[in-house]
Every structure is written in structure tokens, then in C-alpha cells.
């Protein structure tokens, strides 16, 4: 039995699907029974509850061989670091009480840093707590910035004919598709030969937002597309319009500064460090273009 937390999210859903496709027994954890239904139909056992509830999580982990553990997003929380503490405290209690011995934890590049990384600081806090659990075998996944995050620029492309963000357009940044994260996580969870504490970086490309914009312009047939660098205040306002609290929006602006100054970076200096298979050109064709077409079709209905 492998438990997958966040099983309706960007990575958890893909991890659960890969494990089921390969014949593994999966217990899928999420907050919505309706959103878990597709995994149940594919053969997963489902567990509906909140990851801040240590009792629920203990029951869910008991008897399992391994768990894919993540901290689910909560963009409207007033203090994201406190929220990360609450969820990670519940996870630590549940791991200790259930006796589960193998954990694959979704962290991030920059998870080793104590400050200057926005929401990633909360992942650092969680890592430190998990390391203190005696006898636990754990892999800390350190993926790059998700390529899927760029889907948030679809409305800008449609309404303004631009892409944009608070990172300078010429800064080369590591990125990864969630498909690559899921593939590595599933591999580790199925094998379970890892021992002690280890870190695995997952990077699929190194690319600038100027280059991303060029790729999207070609892929979407919009050759005039250009990237605009926004101020922090404009970026924070844009996040808040999407439902982020001001503090969480500000933490993501800090994350962009961390990427720009190298705080959120690969330790694989001196090499490209690419372990994922999906490049941004692949992502643009296989994920962004269909999503963009679907959005446009929906807007005309």
C-alpha cells in the first residue's frame, strides 16, 4: 500500500495515476470526495480528510509501506509559514504514530535555505522536522519552478497580447514539468530501496521568460508576443485578483527575487543538472497549447 497525499493536485494526481497504472495499491488522500472519484474509478482506495488533522493522517498512514507527502496549497491563508508549520506538525505526529518508514517528500529547490525564498522557507522548516524523526527513510524531492505555473499567463496573452511576471526576462531559471516530478516520485515509491536522508533535484529545462515567450509565440501562432517585467506591487495585485492573500502574494514575489539572486537554485553547479525529460518546447506544445485552446473555446460559449 502506497499513500499519496494531495492526490487531486498538480503532482499528487499524476503520482497516483502512475502507481495505479503499474499495478500498485494506492490510498489517495484529498479534501474532496468528488475530486477523488476519478482515482477511485481507476482502482484507488480514497481517504477524505484534512492534512492538518493528525488523527486522520495517522489512520491513513497506518499499515502503508510508503507515502508521497506534500503540503497542499492554501493561497488565502494569512501566514503561509504558519500554515506550513501546522500541516508539517500533523505529518510528523502521524508518521511517528503510524510507524510508516518510507517517505518521499515534495520540497523545492531552495529547501536548504533558511530565508529569502518566499513560501519555500516553509518547506525548509518541514524538512528539518522530518529529519528529526528517528529511523525514518526519506527522500526530499527538490524540483525546480513548475512549468505549469506559466499557464497563469494565458489570460494576459488573450487580453493584453503579452506575457509577464516580476522576474527579469533575461534571467535563466530552472524549470520542471509536473510529469517529471511524478515519474521520479513513483519510481522511488515503487522501489523503496532508499535509506536514511537524501535529496533528489528534478530539473527539466533552464530557460528565460524571454525565451518562454518566444516559444509560446511560435506555438500559439502569436509572433508579436512579448514579455513585460512587472513591479512587485503589480505582481502582488495580480496574485490577489486570483484569490491569494496579500501575505501569500508577497511571499511569491520574494520567491521570484530568490530565483533571480540564486537563492532558489540547483546545487549542480558546473553542469546542466537536467534530470527531467520534458523541455519547455515540449510543454508548450503538449500542455500549454491545448489548455489555451480550451480556454478560448470556453470563452466563446
Contacts of 167 (CB under 8 A, 6+ apart): 173, 209, 229, 256, 259, 260
Helix/strand/coil percent split, the chain, to 5: 50, 15, 35
- Give the pLDDT confidence of 38-92 residue by residue, as tens digits: 999 999 999 999 999 999 999 999 999 999 999 998 899 999 999 999 999 999 9
For the chain, give the mean pLDDT: 94
CB 148 within 8 A of CB 178: yes
What is the pTM assigned to this prediction? 0.94
Sign of the alpha-carbon torsion through 13, 79, 144, 218: positive
- DSSP-assigned letter for residue 275: -
CATH 3.40.50.720 domain residues, the chain: 2-146+176-202
CATH 3.90.25 domain residues, the chain: 205-295
Residue 139 bridge partners (DSSP): 104, 198
CATH value of 205-295 in 3.90.25, 1.10.357, 3.30.160, 3.30.70: 3.90.25
Look at domain 2-146+176-202 and name its CATH class. Answer: alpha beta
Instruction: Count Cβ atoms below 10 Å from residue 94 Cβ, excluding itself.
Output: 23
Contacts of 232 (CB under 8 A, 6+ apart): 166, 250, 253
Cα–Cα dist 57/51, whole Å: 6
Helix (H, G, I), strand (E, B) or coil at 75: coil
**pLDDT score for 300:** 66
Q: Closest Cα partner for 254 from 79, 111, 121, 71?
A: 121
Residue 270 confidence class, pLDDT cut points 50, 70, 90: very low
- Give the pLDDT confidence of 130-180 residue by residue, as tens digits: 999 999 999 999 999 999 999 999 999 999 999 999 999 999 999 999 999
Q: What percent of the chain has a predicted confidence (pLDDT) above 90?
A: 86
Cα–Cα dist 76/154, whole Å: 22
Cα–Cα dist 84/168, whole Å: 29
Position 271 pLDDT exceeds 60: no
Specify the pairing of strand 205-207 against strand 173-176: antiparallel
Amino acid at each position: 500500500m502506497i499513500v499519496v497525499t494531495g492526490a487531486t493536485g498538480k503532482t499528487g494526481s499524476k503520482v497516483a495515476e502512475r502507481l495505479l497504472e503499474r499495478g500498485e495499491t494506492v490510498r489517495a488522500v484529498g479534501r474532496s470526495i468528488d475530486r477523488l472519484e476519478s482515482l477511485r474509478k481507476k482502482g484507488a482506495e480514497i481517504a477524505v480528510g484534512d492534512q492538518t488533522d493528525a488523527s486522520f493522517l495517522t489512520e491513513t498512514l497506518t499499515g502503508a509501506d510508503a507515502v508521497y507527502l506534500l503540503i497542499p496549497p492554501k493561497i488565502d491563508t494569512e501566514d503561509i509559514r504558519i500554515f506550513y508549520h501546522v500541516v508539517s506538525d500533523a505529518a510528523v505526529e502521524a508518521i511517528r504514530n503510524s510507524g510508516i518508514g518510507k517517505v518521499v517528500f515534495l520540497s523545492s529547490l531552495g529547501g536548504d535555505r533558511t530565508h529569502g525564498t518566499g513560501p519555500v522557507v516553509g518547506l525548509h522548516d518541514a524538512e528539518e522536522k522530518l529529519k528529526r524523526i528517528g529511523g525514518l527513510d526519506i527522500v526530499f524531492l527538490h524540483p525546480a519552478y513548475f512549468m505549469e505555473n506559466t499557464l497563469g499567463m494565458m489570460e494576459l496573452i488573450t487580453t493584453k497580447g503579452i506575457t509577464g511576471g516580476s522576474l527579469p526576462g533575461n534571467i535563466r531559471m530552472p524549470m520542471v514539468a509536473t510529469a517529471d516530478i511524478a515519474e521520479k516520485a513513483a519510481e522511488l515509491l515503487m522501489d523503496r530501496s532508499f535509506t536514511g536522508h537524501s535529496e533528489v533535484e528534478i530539473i527539466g529545462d533552464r530557460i528565460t521568460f524571454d525565451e518562454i515567450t518566444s516559444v509560446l509565440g511560435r506555438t500559439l501562432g502569436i509572433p508579436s508576443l512579448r514579455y513585460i517585467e512587472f513591479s512587485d506591487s503589480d505582481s502582488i495585485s495580480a496574485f490577489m485578483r486570483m484569490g491569494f492573500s496579500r501575505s501569500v502574494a508577497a511571499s511569491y514575489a520574494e520567491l521570484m527575487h530568490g530565483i533571480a539572486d540564486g537563492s532558489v537554485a540547483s546545487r549542480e553547479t558546473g553542469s546542466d543538472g537536467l534530470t527531467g525529460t520534458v523541455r519547455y518546447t515540449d510543454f508548450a506544445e503538449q500542455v500549454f497549447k491545448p489548455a489555451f485552446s480550451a480556454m478560448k473555446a470556453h470563452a466563446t460559449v
